[in-house]
Structure 1
């Protein structure tokens, strides 16, 4: 009888994550990486992924469709902050789309205003999006 994934199990999975338009945002398979290893239910993964693998068996492939609340959450306006130009690193010219670190948090330059102020977005890049994962359980350790 095949082993079934349960909360607390350490497992290895291969996965491909896509958006609803079919674009791939990450894949252990396509990027030729080893299987992803994590403990089910330990909070190491986004909630919907963690819950979605429970009950799967070794070798089984399943498609998980996750609402934003089960993934990276909804986009939040309170995660946008506007800073004065003099708060930017010396010699740096901000451009929309640039990725920066604000403390330990990655942020994206969302806007550069005429007065030189810069709006930074600390939302996760996948916040507010429905995510789809094709997951194959490789091993239960």
Structure 2
């Protein structure tokens, strides 16, 4: 069964940087589930999985435009220290979570004062060429409800 639009795809991944160092993996955890063809996955990863079969294991190296985006050097913001989540004491280089109108966002601390911090709002992996080792674990036709909602339901997907 070739992966195509309107299918729920489950996969495991290992993300590596330019030097081959592992940055993230979900090995040993539940697979990631997404609704193929509905902009629920990074474009480069979704394109790499399209047409594949259950059981396919492969690697793909992707440019920033197809993963976390190109780095914007002007993407600095000043935020109140009380909005930073993840630590009690902040130092330059640390990563924090902040709540935005679009949900939680990971930021990197550039400079921190007593009340305000300057943060880099680029994704920490923006601007980098990344390699994904992918293992297509399962795929099935999406339900009408999943298609209507625009996302996968169940393990590895969205829960209502």
Once the two structures are superposed, residues 53-96 of structure 1 have per-residue CA deviations (whole angstroms, 9 ceiling, x without a partner) of: 0011111111111100000111112321245xxx3339x65311
Length, aligned pairs only = 132
* 1:56 corresponds to: 52
Which stretches in structure 1 are left out of the alignment for 5+ residues? none
Deviation at 1:117, TM superposition (A): 5.9
Which stretches in structure 2 are left out of the alignment for 5+ residues? 141-160
**CA contact 1:68–1:128 (8 Å) conserved in 2:** yes
* 1:20 corresponds to: 18
* 1:94 corresponds to: 90
Query: Relative to structure 1, is the Cα distance of residues 98 and 37 closer, same or farther in structure 2, using a 3 angstrom cutoff?
Result: closer
Deviation at 1:119, TM superposition (A): 1.8
CA distance in 1, matches of 2:130, 2:119: 24
CA distance in 2, matches of 1:11, 1:59: 12
Superposed CA RMSD in Å reads 2.3
- Matching of residues 29-48 of structure 1 within 5 Å: 29=27, 32-48=28-44
CA distance in 1, matches of 2:3, 2:139: 7
CA distance in 1, matches of 2:33, 2:99: 29
Is the partner of 1:89 in helix, strand or coil?
A: helix
* 1:111 corresponds to: 111
CA distance in 2, matches of 1:4, 1:108: 40
Q: Which has the larger radius of gyration?
A: 1
Is the partner of 1:50 in helix, strand or coil?
A: helix
- Give TM-score scaled by structure 2 length: 0.72
* 2:66 corresponds to: 70
**CA contact 2:14–2:22 (8 Å) conserved in 1:** yes
- Give TM-score scaled by structure 1 length: 0.81
- List structure 1 segments (4+ residues) > 4 angstroms apart after TM superposition: none
